[in-house]
A and B are shown apart, each in its own frame.
Chain A
Amino acid sequence: MTASDFTKTEGLSASPAEQREMLQRRLEIDRAARWPVGIFLGSSILWLVLGSLLALAASIKMHDPEFLANNPWLTFGRVRPAHLNVVAYGWLSTAGIGIGLWILSRLCGVAIEEYRSLALAALLWNVGNVVGTWGILRGDSTAVEWLEYPTYAAPFLLLSFTFVMMTAFSIMRRRRPGHIYISQFYIMAGFIWLPALFFTAHGLLVLFPVQAPAQPPINWWYAHNVLGLWFTPIALGAVYYLIPKIIGKPIHSYYLSIIGFWSLAFFYAWNGMHHLIGGPYPAFLITASVVASVMMFIPVVTVAINHHFTMIGHFKDLKYSPTLRFVVFGAMSYTLVSFQGSLSAIRELNYITHFTHYTIAHAHLGAYAFASMVFFGAIYYIMPRLLEREWPSRGLIRVHFWGSAIGITIYFVMLSWGGLLQGIELNLKETPFMEIVEATIPYLKWRSVGGSLMTIGHLAFMVSFVWMVIDRRNRGSEPTLFANRKPGDTKTAP
């Protein structure tokens, strides 16, 4: 958004009549979105809590193998993929659909008309997740990483996403004339990429599997890109929308953001094969992804400049706005996780980190410290507008933020360190394997500590959400901030 566009869309130069019209339009948009987007966001939080409990169980099992060991439904090899799929499709994707559609609808200046089919889509999406999770736990997991949901869950998800896409296209087609903002690029592209990825990979790996040697490249192309071409564009679109909105300042450079988008579209899609470094594949195939992964520096640097330079001069707003604090934490993690990812794709470093807990820590830096934190922030921003109510308790938001922030920091630091030690020792042929297993146990215990803190944060989030929905008396006119504004401080939206 250029400075003049920003002034226009924010109504900063508008006459009182125009401002009234704009506010009226936003009200209509939010009321039309209330049910469909609200169902997506609300159910995503339930999946987040379920995903956290599955994660904790899997984490404890790694240092205490007798924990819940006698029930086949709860064996490690089922709980772990159940965790991954629940957080990927239940939490991140469900929240991503809701957040993406709401931002699209706001930026296009038109209300969602398809709220009936969209509410049906939300229902189908949740049914697909329930069926898929049940399928994994009962023993129908496909053991294709990131695609463990059995085939009978896929039609629900694909049908649901068809409705979601139709809504997104309809919003874009009816949009008010004028500029297309960068968030619309990212979100629209994400809505196209996810179904294309899922359809291709599920079809070629699970439904009509290609011969086994060809499966892992497709598997890792999918697994890396569901992060890069689905969670990332929705989360970046949300960051690009929320930071300027909250601090009341346009993004640093519109042109950089366009370069960032197209370089992400081109390079991210070619990632994935670096998960197979050293594996039984032609070097050129793997090198293509190593190069693409290193080239990700371009989109990452442009996005980093835009996000962090826009924030300069406004860091004190972090003291007040919950949304801003979550979103900026996420944006900083994006820079970190992307640099780390590009470096880990380089063969010499990959020889150490591949096959170790280091990679698991990296995945959580991306999916949690970046994508989930941004989505938390977005939900804190969107829900008061959908419900025309404020969040009931700043204390609960505080518990959520600090639980998540401290939890993921412990998780990432300890598991990365343990993973590095594991990788170095694996490459020393004198070190017996069992010694390496024993050496990682303290770090695995630290992961359970970090995970518990994150889970406490998620429980606070869920309580906060449910309380907000059922407490009809709460019509607070003031946004719920971490601290009351002092006179003279910049005005800050929640």
Chain B
Amino acid sequence: MSNRFRFILIGSILTFASAFAGLVLLPVWGLGNFEQVPDPETGEMIPPLLTNQEQRGLQVYVKNGCIYCHSQQVHPERARTDIARGWGSRRTVAHDYMNQGRAQLGTMRTGPDLSNIGVRNPSSTWHLLHLYDPQTTSPGSIMPPFRFLFEEQEIGEAGPSPDALSIPEGFAPPAGREVVPTAEVLDLVAYLQSLRLSEYEVPEAAAARIESVIE
């Protein structure tokens, strides 16, 4: 192995290692060890950990690729109109995400931001209808329907199931049939309802309102 070949090897490894230290190790050390803190008013530990159902819901969110159209990050007013659009009361900070098993910050806003969808739209009925067919609640939407997360069945002799969706005219299944949500979609809705990333008074929240300290 000649010196020139060794020079290429060592050089490529060193340049790579410098970036690895700055952009991988530094974030892991500086942003990978957040802990829950007591809420300054109520003393409850925040941000709350996801329940088992919400964790399963996050998995449904992950496997069906919601991230490819929806972001989960509220940006400061200086940069964008997120706050004016009602997507959050303040920008999100790194601490807000500590309870999420897998960060779903996203890079596209083909659909609206979901950081605080649990605040903006707490109704599970709305979410179920919207997931069954987005046109029922948001005409003109290009979000795909997630009918495969529901089951269409005959209405039994005991009458309609208490879980059956009340679907508007034009979207409803044929007479005598009903649509009931699967466990998967109920988990997903529970997760969406839990999304309130800007709502907790983590230590960095006050600075986030001033917005000059961090990005």
A binding-site residues for B, Cβ under 8 Å: 61-63, 65-66, 69-72, 75-78, 80-81, 139-145, 172-173, 175, 180, 184-185, 188-189, 192-193, 196, 200, 204, 209-219, 221, 225, 229, 262, 265-266, 269-270, 272-273, 275-283, 285-286, 288-289, 347, 351, 354-357, 359-360, 426-429, 433-434, 437-438, 440-441, 444
Contact = CB atoms under 8 A, between A and B. Distances in A.
A215 B102 contact: yes
Given A65-B145, A216-B105, A437-B142, 14 more contacts: A80-B65, A143-B104, A173-B1, A209-B102, A213-B31, A214-B27, A270-B22, A279-B92, A288-B22, A351-B79, A356-B108, A357-B110, A359-B108, A433-B85
Nearest to B143: A65
- Chain A, interface SS category: helix
B15 A437 contact: no
A62 B67 CA distance: 14
The 5 closest A-B pairs by CB, nearest first: A77-B65, A269-B19, A214-B32, A429-B84, A213-B94
Contacts of B5: 172-173, 175, 180, 188
Given A221-B24, A278-B75, A265 B15 contact: yes
B161 interface: no
Contacts of A200: 20, 24
Contacts of B11: 262, 265
B11 to A, nearest CB: 7
Nearest to B212: A283
Contacts of A80: 65, 68
Interface string B80-117: 11001100000111111111111111111111100000
B102 to A, nearest CB: 6
A65 B100 contact: no
Given A213-B32, A279-B105, A282-B214, A140 B97 contact: no
B52 interface: no
Interface residues of B, number: 78
Given A75-B146, A143-B65, A426 B81 contact: yes
A225 B23 CA distance: 12
Given A212-B100, A288-B22, A355-B108, A76 B65 contact: yes
27 contacts: A61-B144, A65-B143, A69-B145, A75-B148, A76-B144, A77-B66, A81-B65, A142-B62, A173-B1, A189-B8, A193-B16, A211-B32, A212-B98, A212-B99, A214-B28, A266-B18, A269-B16, A277-B215, A278-B79, A280-B214, A281-B94, A285-B27, A427-B80, A429-B84, A437-B141, A440-B110, A441-B142
